[in-house]
Chains A and B, each alone.
Chain A
């Protein structure tokens, strides 16, 4: 079925600490996993993505890891800064279609 579970729903960290957000998907045929950041009142912005032929991808302070066996993928943000505060969504293209199924979102607060 089509389902993406995302945890936690809220996350507060001190500036400089790391944040990890996890999503679990149900469709074993999925092969592309994007992460979006949405600031209040703004559009979701693609921040990093990973394809199923790799286990990890890194872009400066942001990384995504994929565990195909367990069917979960995680967003890792290191050295968090106040401007990282936003809602983060994972997404999964539904099998056999081109629609994205989004997770329920994680509200990240970075405390200065």
Chain B
């Protein structure tokens, strides 16, 4: 059984650019949640995907969007990057929506 993986591990972008982050869920898990973790803070929920449909969204603007694929892997896209978007982006997979969530290693995004 493989765990949750994310790519890339680190990324540097400039303001106004767009970025795509990727997540592969743990084997057998059909639900992926994305979180933003700013330095020194707890993770903040962005959205969740369950069987390729968005299944809940946090207080993030529409320039944060996502996808889930038939193999349950997922992408997080952020348009028009701002300096405050600099953070660790974590994805978490779960067996189904509402059960225990297991986190990936995260992608560290720096916006200059």
A residues in contact (CB < 8 Å) with B: 34, 36, 42-46, 49, 89, 93-94, 97-105
Given contacts A98-B98, A99-B33, contact A43 B104 (CB under 8 A): yes
Question: Which residues of B are found within 8 Å of A36, using beta-carbon distances?
Answer: 103
What does the 1/0 interface line of B23-61 toward A look like (CB < 8 Å)? 000000001010100001111110010100001101000
Question: Which residues of B are found within 8 Å of A101, using beta-carbon distances?
Answer: 45
Which residue in chain B gives the minimum CB-CB distance to A31? B98
Summed over the interface, the residue pairs from A and B with CB atoms below 8 Å come to a total of 50
Interface size on B, residues (CB 8 A): 24
B residues in contact (CB < 8 Å) with A: 31, 33, 35, 40-45, 48, 50, 55-56, 58, 90, 97-98, 100-106
Given contacts A89-B43, A98-B56, A100-B43, contact A49 B90 (CB under 8 A): no
Complex A-B: 27 CB contacts under 8 Å: A43-B90, A43-B104, A43-B105, A43-B106, A44-B43, A44-B90, A44-B103, A45-B103, A46-B100, A49-B100, A89-B42, A97-B56, A98-B33, A98-B48, A98-B50, A98-B56, A99-B56, A99-B58, A100-B33, A100-B35, A100-B43, A100-B101, A102-B42, A102-B43, A105-B40, A105-B41, A105-B42
